[in-house]
Each structure stands twice: as structure tokens, then as C-alpha cells.
Amino acid sequence: MTAADSAFSGSIPALYHERLGPLLFEPYAWDMARRVATLEPARILETAAGTGIVTGALMREAGKAEIVATDLNQAMIDVAAGRLMSWRVTFRAADAQALPFEDESFDAVVCQFGAMFFPDRIAAYREAKRVLKPGGRFLFNVWDRIDRNPVSSAVSAAVAALFPSDPPSFLRRVPFGYHDKAAIEADLRSAGYDDVSAETVEKTSVVNARAAAIGLCAGSPLRAEIEERDPARLEEAIDAAAASLVHLDGGEAPMSAHVFSAG
């Protein structure tokens, strides 16, 4: 993974939130928040919080819990902090691989679709374990294979076809590249977790073909891959991606992800 694979800056955070939030992230955010709520935590740490989609769901579902929401990218945290204002929530920039918190200071650590971006996942998992109180839980999710997520699969293929000699591979390689449940469980056990469970969760979302194309091509690090090859072809890539989704436009598309709980 390159530095560009985790760069969410410029116009990307707003497009990510507006175009991809409803399409990809909100259905799983509510699922995650409800799972966390069953633990009845008093203090929650969220890593890779992005624009606060899970944070908002946690505010609704997790009673009166104090929430500390962190992300490596200040631009993403700025969007989240501008949307969600509550005495219960603190936002700050932080690296999940080197958390600036004391040992045993949270009842739950939550991460939605962030583990795929960690250069050293085992280090990030160890940090989550370090800041958990005894009996606390680390809950996170990752995408299933890209072929089980047809919107992202179609866009990835459409953009790759525009650059046959050097196809952009961000979607397939990063967000959908860490999907082997057995390998992820092995990483968690290497990080010191004894109690690990995994569940594949399927959701659906309503597709707006143009919005999805803009979100994935211009509101994610796929944009950097496109512009690296030819900055003048971003709109062409968006058009090609939208065309690849016409058959899904206005309908519901399936999604698949794995949810892990570790302690």
C-alpha cells in the first residue's frame, strides 16, 4: 500500500461523505453501533472514524457513552466535527498504530472499514488491545471479496478498462483486498486476542449510478490513481463508472462484509 492509498484530502472528504456514506457505509454503521450498544460501554474509542458516520450511529445507539473518535486524516475529522457536536464526543487526529491513550482506558474499541488501510495491522490490533479495559471488546468490519460487492466491482472494472496498460487497482487492492477471515483471525491472535469471532453480514443499498461513480472515482483514493495516469481523464472515468452501473440505477444492490469481535 502506498501513501496515496490512505490520502483523504482536498475535496475527497466531502464527496466521500455525501456520495459514499449513504451508499456503502451507513447500513453497516447502524449494524456496528447496535453491536457496540449491547456491550453497554461507558467509554468508546473509534479509530479510522472518517467523517463520523459510525460516530453518529453510536451517539444514537450507545446510551450515554463517552465517545472518542479518531482518524489519521485531519481533513476527515474536520468534516465529522463540523457535523456532530455533543458533549459526549471528542474528535482528534490519531494513528491507530500508535494511539495516544493510556492503557486500559476504554470499554470498547470500534473501527469501521479502516483495518484495510493500516500499514501494520497487527500493530494496530495490539494498540486496540492495549487501551481496552479488562473484559473490553474490539469490534471492526472489513469488506468481503469485491465480486460480492457489485457496485464497487463494476466501477473498478470500468476504470481499469480505460488504462489497459496500467489499470488503477485501488478498490480491488486496498478496501477489498483484506477479506480472508482466517488470515484476519490469525492476525488478531498474533496481536494477543484469545476470543475472536467473525460473522459475514450482507446488506443492500439503493444505487444512484452517477452519485456512486462520483463517490468512488472522485471521493476515494482511486482519484489519485486516475489523476496519476492522466489528470484530464477524471470526468471520463466518472462517466465510464456511471455507465457500468446503469443496470443497477434506482434499484437495490447487495453488499457483503465481515464483522469481527475480539477480546
With a CB cutoff of 8 Å and minimum separation 6, the contacts of 176 are 116, 143, 144, 145, 146, 149, 152
| pLDDT the model gives residue 6 | 54
Backbone phi, then psi, for 260, in 5-degree steps?
-110, 145
| pLDDT the model gives residue 11 | 82
Task: Give pLDDT tens digits along the chain (263 positions).
Answer: 565 655 675 889 999 999 999 999 999 999 999 999 999 999 999 999 999 999 999 999 998 999 999 999 999 999 999 999 999 999 999 999 999 999 999 999 999 999 999 999 999 999 999 999 999 999 999 999 999 999 999 999 999 999 999 999 999 999 999 999 999 999 999 999 999 999 999 999 999 999 999 999 999 999 999 999 999 999 999 999 999 999 999 999 999 999 999 99
Collapsing DSSP states into helix, strand and coil, what is residue 67? strand
Amino acid at residue number 251: G
For the stretch 88-101, pLDDT in tens is: 999 999 999 999 99
Residue 246 to residues 137, 223, 239, 250, Cα–Cα distance (Å): 41, 21, 11, 9
d(CA 121, CA 191): 9
Please, what is the average pLDDT of the chain?
96
Domains and CATH numbers, the chain: 3-262 (3.40.50.150)
